A and B are shown apart, each in its own frame.
Chain A
Amino acid sequence: MINHPIYLDNAATTRVFDEAAAAVQDAMINQYGNPSSMHRLGFEAERTLKESREIFAKLLKCDPSQIFFTSGGTESNNTAVFGSALKYGGRHKHFILSSIEHPSVSEPIRQYVERGWKIDTLHVNRDGFIDLGELEQFMKDREPLLVSIMHVNNEIGTIEPISEAANLIHSMCPTTLFHVDDVQGFGKLNLFPGRAGVDLLSVSSHKIHGPKGVGLFYRSERAKNILPLIYGGGQQEGFRSGTENVPGIAGFAKAALIYQEKLRNAPSKLEELRNLFIEKVTQIEGTKINGPIDTSLAAPHIVSLTVDGVRSEVLLHALEEKSIYVSAGSACSSHKMSHSDTLLAIGLRGDDLDSTLRFSFSIENTKDEIETTVKALREIIPSLRKYRRL
């Protein structure tokens, strides 16, 4: 018998909704025109783009002209850093970022270290929260070019105080731009960049059951002069050249709509799954949750779990044998060890780093699946503990 797969790695990527896949296929086969072409097929593709843009404008409560489609979260994050540095780097050579940013934010910023820029990194506490006091300190009497803080941390689910940070930033320095990586939060939590005071926002399609290779970048009126990352034929108001990925964008928009609808029909489903999982799994001896437990402080779909005396990689493969798919907090092998920056930043050390798994849920998961997963963990963990590494 083949077990029905239980996919709990939704923070890594998600299964594309059938309707979104159908929208991709429809755009590929029927609206294959180039949106820039003058004929009817081109016009139809352009209309799909326009409709998709409007869908996201509604979801983000912004103007359609503020939305640019990109190749995904990484490109959007890169655009925020390089786009603002290209435009304003002559005057403001100062970045502030949190210590738990995704590499697609921290690596672009790191490129400026060797150019002598000032880079300030916000520490986080054991639950992964930044300290607004430290942000205030970093900004005091300075004019940082860009502050980048993620909305939801991808490994432990911490929800950062975005509106509060925005208020602080804008009250302290009128020229500083505020970028938020919302790859993990979009769709699951409401964050309206205009209202929250966010200038630049990154979103990815494949975290909300859309296709891979597409995402969006929100750019506020205040930030409208930042420069493009990609130059070419002048598509998307010249801010993001390249023939638009119409099928990807159509699938992305479809997925966003469906996600919203599913959440509207079951507004607390993700919280319930998460709470159930945490309640059951912490009954297993020698386990602990990293990051905040309270759902008002943590995203409803991410749980980081440390299991004493078990290597996460082995536990991951043991779960895989039961068709349960999760992520390891760090990748480790006899040849190479790479630890997660987030887990290090919240103070995990030693064996805990190698014993941490991430379970991430989707609106598509069920309580049964959670029960089955915890049952599997209950079975597997004691036998793995028996055979420790020497």
Chain B
Amino acid sequence: MFSAFLIKYGEIGVKGKNRFKFEDALVFQIKRVLEPLDRAFDVVRIDGRILVTTDSPLNEIEYDETLVKLKKVFGIVEICPAETVPGMTLDDIKSTVLRHIDENFPDKKITFKVNARRGNKSYPIHSMEINASVGEAILEAFPEMRVDVHNPDIYFKIDIRDSIYVYSKGIKGTGGLPLGTNGRALLLLSGGIDSPVAGYMISKRGVELDCVYFNAPPYTSDRALQKVKDLARILSDYSGKINLHIINFTDIQLYIYDKCPHDELTIIMRRFMMKIAERIARANGCLGLVTGESIGQVASQTLKSLFTTDEACTMPVYRPLIAFDKQEIVDKSEEIGTYETSILPYEDCCTIFVAKHPVTKPNLNIIKLHEQNLNEKIDELIETALDKDEVLSIGV
């Protein structure tokens, strides 16, 4: 019965003088995700690890819930569910280890090694002695088990601190860097498969997210908007609280439709999305834009198109999926849990007016020339859209 988790982190360990900042951020994020649970947990930093403890063993449901939460914390490399030894004597350790084996390894035909570590050097018995003594007890209790000090199936680890913890398995965490260690970026969230994955990947590097959605009623519906809110909610499990900006884009889109060649609609529309996104980002302290673009996926994502889109804003645009194949993106979206929502069949503003043959090799100069057709009203339309920006706070 587990009542603790030893949390291992990777890259943070080598961040030099900033290390404490990263560790503090990780502790903070772990506390944040565990806070909504009914259980109270203690989260403390202990030389190179984080120890999450609670005062009595978790039942199976609580254990699963906690693990699900911890698996969504960026910065964690490995989660080791541990048992707390009820006492400090060698006998206490032995009985906990034996029970642990009995409960977790129904098949006893395994090789093992005991690996004790004294974080608390004042503990009277040396590690080697503990290893030998516990190993002996195991062999006596379970004669089928064998010792293998070089390549064991299972390590039984005994971590001695103010309390003693026993653990034998590690569960992979997401990796990355803890949120709050790298500022904030604005994700262009469409409701498709790609953009939530792009947001996840940037956020995984410790970046907090805001999102902007371009709404086009009556061409898009409340259900399409709800879908985007749901996606932001799923993302917020990983990336913390998200401010979702909802921009009414209809008038701008129709104005472009009126004034510009139809095969350039999408690319011009995207340029204005970038411009608007940049304005929102600057006004909200975001240091970059994030999109789900991937080279060649659609007409507006050829290198020429990306070149043309990119020119519309001066802020860095991060495109973490740029070299991903569609299937890789789909796999990732299934893994992070956004796929089922992304494939709901509601139109978004990018699909309502798509030319049969949109330009795939836009010429920036020509596009800019055609954009001059918009001079009369476009600034005013952009200001109106920004004035009416509706901001929703999503996630805890």
Contact = CB atoms under 8 A, between A and B. Distances in A.
Interface stretch (A40-48, A194-202, A329-337): A329-337
A141 interface: no
B345 A333 contact: yes
Contacts of B265: 390
Given A314-B218, A318-B218, A390 B355 contact: yes
A91 interface: no
A317 B262 contact: no
Contacts of B323: none
A390 B262 contact: yes
Interface string A307-329: 00000011111101100000000
Interface in B199-257: 217-221, 254, 257
A316 to B, nearest CB: 8
Contacts of B352: 334, 389
B353 A389 contact: yes
Interface in A317-359: 317-318, 320-321, 333-336
A316 B223 CA distance: 13
Contacts of A336: 345
- Chain A interface size range: 10 to 19
Nearest to A380: B218
A334 B346 CA distance: 8
B217 A317 contact: yes
B347 interface: yes
Nearest to A337: B345
B251 to A, nearest CB: 11
Nearest to B358: A390
B141 interface: no
B72 to A, nearest CB: 29
Interface string A283-317: 00000000000000000000000000000011111
Given A333-B345, A333-B346, A314 B219 contact: yes
A54 B345 CA distance: 46
Contacts of B346: 333
Contacts of B353: 387, 389-390
A336 B345 CA distance: 7
Given A390-B354, A390-B355, A390-B356, A333 B347 contact: yes
A56 to B, nearest CB: 37
B218 A335 contact: no
A320 B354 contact: no
Interface string B344-369: 01110001111110000000000000
Interface in A209-260: none
A387 B254 contact: yes
Nearest to A320: B218
B270 to A, nearest CB: 16
Contacts of A320: 218
Contacts of B220: 317
Given A314-B219, A390-B262, A390-B356, 13 more contacts: A313-B347, A317-B218, A317-B221, A321-B217, A334-B345, A334-B347, A334-B351, A335-B345, A387-B254, A387-B257, A389-B352, A389-B353, A390-B354
